[in-house]
A and B are shown apart, each in its own frame.
Chain A
């Protein structure tokens, strides 16, 4: 059952283990598939759709699709990269993402992906949604302006912290992160040591008063572009 199998990603044969997802197999082989809501150690969510690949011509999320013997995966194609770029751009216009003063700048996966995909300005109209900031907790801040609904905090709080503080409320364009209290985060048992605080890929869930401590030039994506640990950037 667990005997090694082989799949093919962009024409390259890659070893895989039954039960792995395409994304896990690709990571193990050093092939980068762009992703945003995926977090090692958390249950795959398949929400952001940035890791979409084609298997036998059919689109599926690499973070949720299990490998199967002799699977043929298309990852780095013009069509898929364009779709991924469009998803990133839509995320940018749908929220209020002001990188120029965001404390997560240089350590933000959304921003890093925008750089990777060469997005200098959005091609879609900005929504400028009216969203609020929940600063009620003495040590933790939620800035809904920047939330991309990746469910990272939902999964980490539930599965790693055992607290289930975060969940979704609303549907469609009204969908947003909520907390398991009548009002705001201060009324929950959220703690500054919660691992849920470590998984936000953007600047939506933050420890207070810690921003900007890493100098420009030393922030994670100043040092190496996103994806470069797995796959060297193309010149």
Chain B
């Protein structure tokens, strides 16, 4: 087999502890060197199609069903787009702040879930620890406090979501032009007592992520590290903005590619490429082109590209983060974890600010404007920039939907990460447990939501296949999820 092969392909499945599931294929050349790695998304894509014909006001509640992990992101992103459909560009202070509170609660719980439940076993037990050990159960056995913190931080975020959306998962708070409830004093007072504890734990989590990076600097800077562009929202002053900003993109050296691009002009700046082996599209920055125009999104990109963070502790943490790379953007996949904890601090600081804001008890909840037939909503979901773009006919029915989810933008970076890991750890023509573990760790750093990324109907376990240049399978490792 070897003599006839010019390129070979290695495949990794299932990527456990990723939200959703994936399949990885590693292609070899005739010299058994890694030519390319592909993270396949093979599930059926349906949402953009089957919401056609539905009345537009259903969108925030309907489209959030894409995901059970960060439905709030879709809920709010669709709501922002639907605001545009009914001609609303500015919400009442109460509505805007209620939505922001919901969003920061979402960021807080999602980041806590990922860091404590999914990622921390990799960091604490090492990439090569046996899979049975690299999970939350083992974490709870060995470091009970850490596991408990993760659970309680997630719960706190979920309680904020419930207070703003009515339910912890798949609520209905945001409606076209506003919000359907304010925050009662009783709801506020139930959330305030735990705030200081949450901030303290967020502080500890930053120390943990930073300490890990400093203690493992050689590994972190060498593991799935590669230059890329970065994309995210910023405030008018260039600060970190997670709910409602304009688009900024920077290159690998931090130079601005575009800045302050209004949401509804995203298509002028970003394109999407389709590739035959994945149902997930590949977005790119138009001015650079599909080959080199790919970019990272999510915590790493956001902390890289913002000029400041408008809350003190997160800003201090951001400066520490930037100091690590001397001000140049950080390109280490593993740095996502630290950046994610910087944002977690920002989220809890914003929650504190909002809970103490009397606007949340306001009663002016909804505004309306002059109807439009097309609108775009963009939000920074926990996993990165999320785009919802809709067209609606004169009968109020959706005629077109385009959704670019965070994991779609991180599609190419994840492929590059897997490729980098495969080049370093693939032992010729066989997939080892060690390689599988390293591929998992690299993918997990991006906190991909694969079911969301394909708007999936179904489940996708992770498998890694190694294929030769004629695409013949020469090695396969599969692992059950869990």
Residues of A in contact with B (beta carbons under 8 Å apart): 100-101, 103, 133, 135-136, 141, 208-209, 211-218
Contact = CB atoms under 8 A, between A and B. Distances in A.
Contact of B58 (A103, A136, A215, A216): A103
B181 A101 contact: no
B394 to A, nearest CB: 9
Helix, strand, loop or mixed for chain A's interface? loop
B167 interface: yes
A213 B61 CA distance: 12
9 contacts: A101-B62, A136-B395, A212-B175, A214-B180, A215-B166, A215-B180, A216-B165, A216-B171, A216-B172
Contacts of A133: 53-55, 397
Nearest to B64: A101
A134 to B, nearest CB: 9
Interface string B172-201: 110110001100000000000000000000
B170 interface: yes
Contacts of A101: 58, 61-62, 65
A135 B396 contact: yes
A2 B60 CA distance: 55
A215 B172 contact: yes
Interface in B53-101: 53-55, 57-58, 60-62, 65, 86
B78 to A, nearest CB: 11
- The 8 A-B residue pairs with the shortest CB-CB distance in the complex, in nearest-first order: A216-B166, A135-B395, A101-B62, A215-B181, A212-B172, A215-B166, A101-B61, A215-B180
Contacts of A136: 395
B141 to A, nearest CB: 34
- The number of chain B residues touching the other chain, given as a range, is 20 to 34
Contacts of B165: 216
A178 to B, nearest CB: 18
A101 B167 CA distance: 13
A66 to B, nearest CB: 42
B181 A209 contact: no
Given A101-B62, A133-B397, A216-B171, A211 B57 contact: yes
A100 B170 contact: yes
Contacts of B366: 213
A218 to B, nearest CB: 8
B396 A215 contact: no
A208 B60 CA distance: 15
A97 to B, nearest CB: 14
Contacts of A103: 57-58, 61
Nearest to A141: B55
Given A133-B397, A212-B60, 12 more contacts: A101-B62, A103-B57, A103-B58, A133-B55, A135-B396, A135-B397, A136-B395, A208-B57, A209-B55, A211-B55, A212-B175, A216-B166
Given A133-B55, A141-B55, A212 B65 contact: no
Contacts of A208: 55, 57, 396
B167 to A, nearest CB: 5
Contact of B396 (A209, A212, A214, A216): A209
A100 B53 CA distance: 17
B176 A209 contact: yes
A217 B184 CA distance: 13
A101 B54 CA distance: 11
Nearest to B166: A216
